[in-house]
Amino acid sequence: MSTDKHDSIYATQRPREDFVFDEKVAAVFTDMISRSVPGYATIISMIGVLANRYCSKGSNLYDLGCSLGGATFAMAHHIEHKDYQLFAVDNSAAMMSRLKKSVDSSEETYPIVLSQADISDIEIRDASVVVLNFTLQFIDPAQREALMRKIYLGMRPGGILILSEKIRLADDDLNALLIDMYHQFKEAQGYSKLEISQKRSALENVLIPETLAAHKSRLLNAGFRSVDSWFQCFNFASMIAFK
Ligand code: GEK
């Protein structure tokens, strides 16, 4: 990881603008995501463990929406051989230039290929492990089905997709409760009420959460033979789908 700067982007009152993954966000992203996603460290380290288990020799791995490479490095550190190619893809120039610096300055050389691209445009082939760690939520809902189908078709039988998402609960009361609990978690992480509410409003049109049921049904429709969640904390969950 290339930075550990403190995230204070929304600490003072600012005009409402949609959230973007620009240089300002990239500079504080490690701190931002670890204080904003409950269980982030656990999910990242389990992605490494799962990648080691399911990465087959000669296959490709994909970290789609890799940001600064949290999941990319977890996979590279855990996989016990180097007979694979790990494609780390993100369309944010700010994220990718920081990730390139981390990869270039890493003490060990890993088979990581960086690609600044929209994940809807790239080709997925011969994949044993595909990771979407809190990325699908930023993709236009109308494009999500085609993306899942493309991922499924590009995977080896026996491969896994790890899909982590902020989720919505079908029951409005339960949904409101989990959002409240999440906001208390953020306060405990040092974010003020102003920061929480300004960030929430900036993400409103940008991050579109769906229910676990909607995710599971889309994955099954795409062809995956088995889907379930392995982690949930408040309104954040991580699922595994088997091809
Ligand atoms: C982690 N996975 O640390 N194509 C490519 N990248 C995209 C697209 C797109 N269409 N849309 C958004 N992104 C990471 C964390 S962050 C999650 C992922 C968060 C990228 C975007 O640029 C950003 O870097 C990432 O998806 C989402 O494990 O900030 O909540």
In the predicted structure, residue 34 carries a pLDDT above the cut 80: yes
Are 168 and 209 contacting, i.e. CB atoms less than 8 angstroms apart?
A: yes
Per-residue pLDDT at 3 = 46
Give all domains of the chain, ordered by start, each with its CATH number.
14-138+160-243 (3.40.50.150)
Residue range 20-25: mean pLDDT, rounded: 94
For residue 87, the CA-to-ligand 1 centroid distance in Å is 14
Residue range 195-203: mean pLDDT, rounded: 94
Counting ligand 1 atoms within 8 A of each CB, the residue from 138, 165, 166, 200 with the most, and so the one to mutate, is 138
Q: Is the CB of 115 under 6 A from ligand 1?
A: no
Q: Is the CB of 203 under 6 A from ligand 1?
A: no
Per-residue pLDDT at 133 = 98
- For ligand 1, atom 4: residue with the closest CA: 118
Per-residue pLDDT at 1 = 43
69: left (phi over 0), alpha (psi -120 to 50) or beta: left
Single-letter amino acid code for the residue at 181: M
In the predicted structure, residue 188 carries a pLDDT above the cut 50: yes
Give the model's confidence band at 26: pLDDT under 50 very low, under 70 low, under 90 confident, else very high.
very high
For residue 63, the CA-to-ligand 1 centroid distance in Å is 10
Q: Is the CB of 119 under 6 A from ligand 1?
A: yes
Residue 56, token pair as written in the block: 């087959």
pTM higher than 0.95 for the full model?
yes
For residue 135, the CA-to-ligand 1 centroid distance in Å is 5
Residue range 20-40: mean pLDDT, rounded: 96
In sequence order, the 6+-apart residues with CB closer than 8 A to the CB of 104 are none
pLDDT > 90: percent of the chain: 97
Q: Is the CB of 91 under 6 A from ligand 1?
A: yes
Residue range 167-172: mean pLDDT, rounded: 98
Are 117 and 89 contacting, i.e. CB atoms less than 8 angstroms apart?
A: yes
Helix axes 141-153, 212-222, angle to 10 degrees: 40
Cα–Cα dist 169/171, whole Å:
5
What Cα–Cα distance (Å) separates residue 82 from each residue in 9, 59, 125, 231?
Answer: 39, 10, 18, 28
Give the model's confidence band at 4: pLDDT under 50 very low, under 70 low, under 90 confident, else very high.
low
Give the model's confidence band at 187: pLDDT under 50 very low, under 70 low, under 90 confident, else very high.
very high
Are 55 and 74 contacting, i.e. CB atoms less than 8 angstroms apart?
A: no
For residue 208, the CA-to-ligand 1 centroid distance in Å is 13
pLDDT digits (tens, 9 = 90+) for 69-126: 999 999 999 999 999 999 999 999 999 999 999 999 999 999 999 999 999 999 999 9
Looking from the CA of residue 92, the nearest atom of ligand 1 is 22
- Residue 140 sits at φ, ψ, to 5 deg, of -50, 125
Cα–Cα dist 15/32, whole Å:
20
Are 159 and 124 contacting, i.e. CB atoms less than 8 angstroms apart?
A: no
